[in-house]
Structure 1
Amino acid sequence: MTSVLAASPGERLRTLRDLMGLTQAQVSAMSGVASSWISDVENDHIEPQDDKLQLIAKATETPVGFFYVQPKTVPLDSLRFRKLASAKRTVTKRVHALYSESYRVSDDLITSQSYPTPPLPFTDSDKLEANDIEFLADQTRIALRLAPDKPIPHLTRVLERGGVAVAPMVLSDQSGSDEPTVNAHFGVSYWSGLGDTALIGYFPASGDRDRFTLAHELGHLVLHTFRPRVKNAEAEANHFASALLMPYSRAREELSAETTLTEYARKKATWGMSIQALIMRGAAVGRIDDTRKRSLYVQLSQRGWRKREPVEVGQEEPLLLWTLLQRQFGERPYLPGAEHLAIPPAVLRSIAPTPRPKKTDKEPPQSSIDRDSGNIVQFAGRQARQQGPTRLAR
């Protein structure tokens, strides 16, 4: 990866601290390098000394090349987060650093191996109506070679086959603190447009929440790549996610004012969406009025289902980045890959985890969610072919 700008070791040192959640004093204590020197380097008051950067690299288990690499810029105003309103700025800063480094690594792996980039639809319309978002969700299904009205058994694999990289993300704690990192973020994404790398990062939780997060972030890529400053971006992405996971015609067919919570639980197992998301979908397509929606939410609270719903949706597992990593660096790719990509091995393991061993028992192929267990059936499919994108404009 080339750039007309030289990498700044001081800026990279600041990025490393953000990435690991470390203060200057903590880096000093770990490495034996004076915190005043760290401050001076980060503020460009002095030129960094290689030997001291090597001490910091060793203490943080980071390749020294990290301080000299020039990452591809991810504009702040184009980076989208799915997060709670309570998310702390300090944690958001860490998430941005983690995502930026993850994007750099995924872009390197994808471009160096000529993996196809996504042919997603997009829009630059000033204002989107509800039917526009439904249309774009339908066009996204076409671009990703999905049936127009069927459940999506494995959304992660569909995205990866379609050229959208997916990376689980973990905020590591190198400080030695006993307090866990409180993270109110669900996902983050960026795509600059056709021909460029797209990456969706998510913080693993329950299977149904992960799927909605992926669909939500995909919505940002489609709806907001060329509309980065729209005010109601989160609401639009939520609408898109619901429309992608349960298309309009099926939502109108399956959801009604008579649908009970028990029936919603069965539909959760089929569609891989939470009961609460299904209720909201029913309201969005005009099959549930506000009175019925409130009643269903009261029932959810009474049963204790607002915080813990029945029916477990199995967690999906990304594969693309691991496959590219192993293809380039061999069966044990983390150490050589981390050195080449100039990234801490722990971060590389997070965004490109080793796949869990496959079950040895042969099972008959399935194309829907297991209705008994609620688990999402992970199946193999053909790689999505490049197609011309759909653009919605007014």
Structure 2
Amino acid sequence: MFNPNRLSIARKRRQLTKKDLAGKAGITAVTLTRLEGPGGGEPSVDTVRSIAEALGFPFEFFYMNDCDELTTEAVSFRSLSSLTAKQRDAALAAGSIAFEFHSWVSKKFTLPEQQLLDLRDEDPVAAAQALRSHWGIGTKPIDTLIKLLEAKGVRVFLLAEQHKNVDAFSCWRDGVPFMFLNTFKSSERSRFDAAHELGHLVLHMHGGNTNRDLEREADSFASAFLIDKGDLVSHLQRVRSLEQIVEAKTRWGVSVAALTRTAYNEKLISDWHYRDLCRQISQRGYRSTEPQSRPREKSVLWRMVFSELWKEGLTRDGIARDLNVPSDELESLVGDLVTEVPSAPPPQLRRLMVV
């Protein structure tokens, strides 16, 4: 039976209005509105084929069970006010497809269970310290944040929207934490986004729209989680120049701007010196281009999944066919996280991949 929920998801992913899609599919806007609504009736096969071709989605996609639809109330958009309705809906629809992929993978593999804490009653800095302690990190810098998050049960995906308006977001689904990151930014800023979303997941256990207070809390959590205060003071006792900040930031994998702000918050930089450093950061273009940027982090979990599936002769295109989704949708969710498929997963992590 034709599923209007699937039609809505596919249309939103392509950022088309009902009128636009109707024109591309050669049907009337009234017909499309009826089909996407409840009790819209069963369209002809030719009509569905026209819609599928216009959207670039497999015909079979529209005859499957409902997708879990994300709502703005269930996620944390850091830049919700700067999003157009189309951008917001497209990002949320990508989340629905990620859920489909995750459910498919979960039937084949035993994935890491989530090991987050409910820290809703904690101060953000105290919460960051508590989670560091819970995960056995101590005060040391976090070398690969995505690998850590995946090992602790967070499912990390990417956003296909390659522009700065669509920021990172996170959500909970069936007790599993999900995180979506924007690769438009530098590696350092993406790491901060990931830590920020981790803050939302443990501090706000997601529900309700974000606001400035919640965003500040998540920022405070991210700073404290990525940079332990004791470690900062012992390695950056006194800030003398911007060059010193540029050199020091590599230890914690954060941006020049983020480290400068954290050092200022910890009283390692005076008011007038902080203002001067911010001026220099802007003048040198470090707000948009990060100096001495580290390589972008990759997924361990999805790389292992694709490695095991490759042994069975199942490629990403084959997975997309099994899911009845466009291959480009799967590629946009995990493509940049998995640059190559190894011949075998790392032995120390094979225990996460029990079939």
Alpha-carbon deviation of 1:321?
A: 3.0
DSSP 3-state at the match of 2:51? helix
CA deviation profile, 1:73-120 (whole Å, cap 9, x unmatched)? 545323112337433233122211212322332244235522122111
Out of 257, 271, 280, the residue aligned to residue 290 of structure 1 is: 271
Matched, 1:158 2:148: yes
Q: Structure 1 residues 75, 8: closer, same or farther in 2, change over 3 A?
A: farther
TM-score (norm 1): 0.77
Q: Distance in 2 between matches of 1:286 and 1:183?
A: 31
- The question of whether the paired residues in 2 share the 8 Å contact of 1:18 and 1:97 is answered with yes
Alpha-carbon deviation of 1:383?
A: 5.0
Per the alignment, residue 315 of structure 2 pairs with 333
Q: Larger relative CO (CA 8 A, sep 6+): 1 or 2?
A: 1
Q: Structure 1 residues 152, 93: closer, same or farther in 2, change over 3 A?
A: same
Q: Distance in 2 between matches of 1:206 and 1:284?
A: 23
Per the alignment, residue 37 of structure 1 pairs with 31
Q: Distance in 2 between matches of 1:11 and 1:260?
A: 56
Q: Distance in 2 between matches of 1:8 and 1:122?
A: 40
Q: Structure 1 residues 184, 230: closer, same or farther in 2, change over 3 A?
A: closer
Per the alignment, residue 90 of structure 1 pairs with 86
Per the alignment, residue 22 of structure 2 pairs with 28
CA deviation profile, 1:343-375 (whole Å, cap 9, x unmatched)? 22211111122732499xxxxxxxxxxxxxxxx
Q: Distance in 2 between matches of 1:285 and 1:208?
A: 20
Amino acid at match of 1:353: G
Out of 154, 159, 175, the residue aligned to residue 196 of structure 1 is: 175
Q: Structure 1 residues 183, 255: closer, same or farther in 2, change over 3 A?
A: same
Amino acid at match of 2:293: E
Amino acid at match of 1:88: T
Gap runs ≥5 in structure 1: 1-6, 172-180, 360-379, 387-394
Per the alignment, residue 135 of structure 1 pairs with 126
Question: Aligned runs of 1:133-282 on 2, under 5 Å?
Answer: 133-146=124-137, 148-171=138-161, 182-192=163-173, 196-204=175-183, 205-225=185-205, 228=208, 231=211, 232-256=213-237, 258-282=239-263
- The question of whether the paired residues in 2 share the 8 Å contact of 1:62 and 1:344 is answered with yes
CA RMSD of aligned residues (A): 3.0
Q: Structure 1 residues 326, 85: closer, same or farther in 2, change over 3 A?
A: same
Alpha-carbon deviation of 1:265?
A: 0.5
Amino acid at match of 2:158: P
Q: Structure 1 residues 319, 328: closer, same or farther in 2, change over 3 A?
A: same
Q: Distance in 1 between matches of 2:160 and 2:58?
A: 19
Q: Distance in 2 between matches of 1:152 and 1:124?
A: 23
DSSP 3-state at the match of 1:80? coil
Identity within the alignment, %: 25
Q: Distance in 2 between matches of 1:328 and 1:381?
A: 16
Q: Distance in 2 between matches of 1:69 and 1:302?
A: 53
- The question of whether the paired residues in 2 share the 8 Å contact of 1:24 and 1:39 is answered with yes
Per the alignment, residue 4 of structure 1 pairs with none
- The question of whether the paired residues in 2 share the 8 Å contact of 1:17 and 1:23 is answered with yes
Instruction: Return 28-37 or 313-322, whichever deviates more.
Output: 28-37
Out of 50, 54, 59, the residue aligned to residue 55 of structure 1 is: 50
Q: Distance in 2 between matches of 1:320 and 1:218?
A: 18
DSSP 3-state at the match of 1:123? coil
- The question of whether the paired residues in 2 share the 8 Å contact of 1:110 and 1:324 is answered with no
Out of 326, 333, 341, the residue aligned to residue 351 of structure 1 is: 333
DSSP 3-state at the match of 1:352? helix
- The question of whether the paired residues in 1 share the 8 Å contact of 2:3 and 2:66 is answered with no
DSSP 3-state at the match of 2:77? strand
Alpha-carbon deviation of 1:262?
A: 0.7
Out of 63, 67, 70, the residue aligned to residue 66 of structure 2 is: 70
Q: Structure 1 residues 164, 383: closer, same or farther in 2, change over 3 A?
A: farther
Q: Distance in 2 between matches of 1:134 and 1:381?
A: 35
Amino acid at match of 1:155: L
- The question of whether the paired residues in 2 share the 8 Å contact of 1:334 and 1:348 is answered with yes
Amino acid at match of 2:125: E
* Larger helix fraction of residues: 2
DSSP 3-state at the match of 2:286? coil
Amino acid at match of 1:188: F
TM-score (norm 2): 0.84
- The question of whether the paired residues in 1 share the 8 Å contact of 2:70 and 2:93 is answered with no
Out of 305, 329, 337, the residue aligned to residue 286 of structure 2 is: 305
Q: Structure 1 residues 26, 87: closer, same or farther in 2, change over 3 A?
A: closer
Q: Structure 1 residues 108, 283: closer, same or farther in 2, change over 3 A?
A: farther
- The question of whether the paired residues in 1 share the 8 Å contact of 2:168 and 2:182 is answered with yes
Instruction: Return 200-209 or 336-345, whichever deviates more.
Output: 336-345
Q: Structure 1 residues 104, 237: closer, same or farther in 2, change over 3 A?
A: farther
Q: Distance in 1 between matches of 2:225 and 2:36?
A: 44
Q: Structure 1 residues 69, 322: closer, same or farther in 2, change over 3 A?
A: farther
Q: Distance in 2 between matches of 1:213 and 1:151?
A: 16
Alpha-carbon deviation of 1:8?
A: 7.4
CA deviation profile, 1:298-333 (whole Å, cap 9, x unmatched)? 222333433333212211122423533553574443
